[in-house]
Structure 1
Amino acid sequence: MGQDSVSTPRLSFGPDEEPDIGTPYAQYVRLETLHSLQHPRSKVDAELSFIITTQVMELLFDLLRHEWTTAQHALREDDLTAAFAALRRGTHVQDVLISSWDLLATMTPGEFTAFREVLGEASGFQSSAFLRLEFMLGNKNESLLKMYEGSAAVHGDLTAALHAPSLYDEALALLARRGLPVPHEPGTGRYRASEEVVAAWRQVYTDPALAEAARLGEALLDTAERVTRWRQRHYSSVKRTMGAKPGTGGSSGLTWLKQSADQDVFPELWTVRNEL
């Protein structure tokens, strides 16, 4: 190959896919497809912002799932360096997710009400990607799978997540392999805190020989704190935009969001701070 020649990378597409038209960049990120996915059902300007913001959130949910899955695999392999890196990348994704509420928070009740009817039964509570993240955090609820019975692939993915260890389960399993008395076994229900796990984290934070595990605790708490920020931001945005009215799709709206915002993720990591 000559020194001045330039090779163009070959792009491959699935058998049922059509390549996007345009520059290599447009083909790589599928621009034509991406910019064709916004279809407002009303003439209200605020609806386009609502659609694009929620679509961006969904993409970020997928990215966060990728990072947390990577962290889980690393913890399973006792590779804390890789786990820290994945969790750190995940916190950056979470920061963008939290900030994305800025695009919706200033929507007035009048603007939202003007197009709310076209949403029909659609609700953010129906997001399978978001529920998958909740399961990965240990917030499992088998009854929620019922709404996905019409989609075999989604139902199967969520069922697998329900039965799989959560991110916190993998961390506790690592502590157990390090010789700490951690009695917790993964389950299919919402994670419940235990005094034994609090005691294990207390030992982690007070024994210099377990400094690396203490770093893991702090990395997990970075994740947990951002989950709380996300929930609080969600709550305040909904409260500002629609008040205490029932949510679309029949959800309890503000009441559920408030309860969620008040619930700690990885609870023993918060409790042990009372004793350090």
Structure 2
Amino acid sequence: MGHDTVSTPNLSFGRAEEPGHGTPYARYVRLEELHGLQHPRSKVPAELSFIVTTQVMELLFDLLRHEWTQAQQALREDDVPGALAALRRGTHVQDVLVNSWDLLATMTPLEFGAFREVLGEASGFQSSAFLRLEFLLGNKSEHLLRMYEEVPGTHAELADALRAPGLYDDALALLARRGLAVPYEPSAERYRPLPEVAAAWRRVYTDPAEYPGLAELGEALLDVAERVTRWRQRHYSSVKRTMGDKPGTGGSSGLAWLKRSAEQDVFPELWTVRNEL
């Protein structure tokens, strides 16, 4: 993804119009393929719930990416209402993602342990769709690309995402175009808070007439950020209940990593500036 255009996921429905493949509804949503994607490797009943829930999450990751990239494109076109609409649609997706943990949260350690072995080294941390969202949020880390070195297409896409502006970068670029002193500089590194950015948001909130629409944008971004924290907290509590403090299946530190993640705010200046308002 370059700086001037925003790529969107491929949402082609392929043979949706082909005859002889069931009802129009079945063709449109690809029912036969969709319901053929669940292949438990054990006879443990809880494994099917685990597979279905993680597949639903993956689909929602792609949908959320679509909404956030739509918001980015609108911001680049100075279309604040369009960006707000996309961000609000995205918050509904985030709400469903947060609530999707309910399907796994009550799985007992014995139930999960009964099929955990069949996962091998598979882990949610390996989700390229989730990592793409993290990059859009400014949580960038080049070393995470190593796990995709044997998948050239995915590696190249993530490398592009690492170098491209994130959602917050495009919001700050808009602030700069509106005359605020924002040191806008997209980076392939994790976003670090800057006092100049906090000062810019403070001006947006204290003088909304001078910067129409930007306070609403700040609040919409904060809605996104708050739901990111909710997701991380639910992830942490669900893992803690299901498997305790055991190492993650993919070799991660499990709970320790999740706890650190849950304590990190995205779009940090939008949080800190509230101390001064």
What TM bracket, shorter-length normalisation? over 0.9
Say if 1:19 and 1:30, in contact at 8 Å, map to a contact too: no
In our comparison, the structure showing a higher alpha carbon Rg is 1
Task: State the 4+ residue runs in structure 1 displaced beyond 6 angstroms.
Answer: none
Length-normalised TM-score, structure 2: 0.93
Does the Cα contact within 8 Å between 1:112 and 1:242 map onto a contact in 2?
yes
Cα distance, 1:184 vs. partner? 3.1
CA distance in 1, matches of 2:20, 2:270: 47
What is the aligned partner in structure 1 of residue 180 from structure 2?
A: 180
Distance 1:23 1:64 in 2: 28
Query: Are 2:255 and 1:248 aligned?
Result: no
Partner of 1:230: 231
> Match for residue 222 of structure 2?
221
Match in the other structure for 1:150: 150
What is the distance in 1 between the residues matched to 2:13 and 2:205?
50
CA distance in 2 between counterparts of 1:82 and 1:13 reads 29
User: Which one-letter code corresponds to 1:213 in the other structure?
Assistant: L
CA contact (8 A) 2:176 2:184 kept: no
1:268 pairs with 2:277: no
Percent of aligned pairs sharing the same letter? 78
Gaps of 5+ in 2: 1-11
Q: Which runs of 5+ in 1 are unaligned?
A: 1-10
**1:110 and 1:19, CA in 2 relative to 1: closer, same or farther beyond 3 A?**
farther
Q: Is the 8 A contact 2:13 2:28 kept in 1?
A: no
Alpha-carbon deviation of 1:20? 7.6
Whether the 8 Å CA contact 2:72–2:170 is kept in 1: the answer is yes
- Please state how far the C-alpha of 1:19 moved relative to its aligned partner: 7.5
Match of 1:127 in 2: 127
CA distance in structure 1 between the partners assigned to 2:213 and 2:242 by the alignment? 44
Aligned position for 2:3: none
* Distance across 2 between alignment mates of 1:57 and 1:75: 27
- Going from structure 1 to structure 2, the CA distance change for 1:50 and 1:12 (only over 3 Å counts) comes to closer
* Residue pairs, 1:19-38, within 5 angstroms: 21-38=21-38
When residues 36 and 20 of structure 1 are mapped into structure 2, their CA distance, relative to the original with a 3 A threshold, is farther
> Partner letter of residue 136 of structure 1?
L
Alignment partner of 1:150: what SS?
Answer: coil
CA RMSD of aligned residues (A): 1.5
SS of the residue corresponding to residue 213 of structure 2 reads: helix
Looking at structure 1, the residues matched to 148 and 14 of structure 2 have their Cα atoms a distance apart, in angstroms, of 29
Question: C-alpha offsets along residues 57-90 of structure 1, whole Å, 9 cap, x if unaligned?
Answer: 0000000000000000000000011100000000
Q: How many pairs are equivalent?
A: 264
Could you state the TM-score of these two structures normalised by the residue count of structure 1? Answer: 0.93
CA contact (8 A) 1:20 1:27 kept: no
Partner amino acid, structure 2, of 1:240: R
